[in-house]
Amino acid sequence: MKYTNNILQTPIGKISVYACEDGLREIRFQNHKKEPLTDLHVDALKQLEEYFAGTRQIFELPLSLTGTDFQVRVWDSLRVLGFGETTNYGSIAHSVGSPRASRAVGNAVGRNPLPIVIPCHRVIHAGGGIGGFSGGLSKKRWLLNHETFQFPTSRRDVASLVSVGI
């Protein structure tokens, strides 16, 4: 299967968008050689630009995901999260039918091949911590703030989020 990629300059740095004939395959926070654009690349780049411009909240792209059944279930559950909505690892574990698998969910989230399109940046710790992100914490904060979620900066702010169930 042949993969192609292209690079998009965004407010959080360059991202590479990979696709194959079956669909969008991967997004990386790295710089790679540009290749000829396919129709899917054009569509993916346009939708990402719209997301960063604040005019798109839902991605409508064919995806070509490779992972375990569990990983794909986790990634599918992330796609249900709305723009600006957050969740935690335990909630995802429950939603995929494995309520004791929070750590496995964390591993699956960390292996998400399509950050932003599959919004793993919307997963935070149950206690209010920001959690990890493949692109780094500064990019995760930017994405959360872009979606109008103001991440807490003090313990008092974290306590107020926990008390309302975030």
Residue 149's pLDDT is: 59
Q: Is 120 a catalytic residue?
A: yes
CATH 1.10.10.10 assigned to domain 69-163? The reply is yes
pLDDT at 2: 77
- Residues 154, 156, 159, 163: is their CA dihedral positive or negative? negative
Domain ranges of the chain: 4-53, 69-163
Give the tokens for residue 6: 């292209």
pLDDT at residue number 74: 98
Point out the residues of the chain with pLDDT beneath 70.
31-34, 149-166
Residues 51 and 59 sit within 8 Å (Cβ to Cβ): yes
The Cα–Cα gap between 96 and 78 comes to 10
Cα–Cα distance measured from residue 110 to residue 94, given in angstroms and rounded to the nearest whole number: 18
Sign of the CA dihedral with 31 first, then 32, 33, and 37 last: negative
Q: What is the pLDDT, as a whole number, of residue 31?
A: 62
Under CATH, which number does the domain 4-53 receive? 3.30.160
- Residue-level pLDDT at 160: 43
Catalytic residue among 120, 124, 144, 158: 120
The Cα 62–Cα 100 span in angstroms is: 31
Confidence at residue 157, expressed as pLDDT on a 0 to 100 scale = 44
pLDDT value of position 28: 87
pLDDT for 151 equals 53
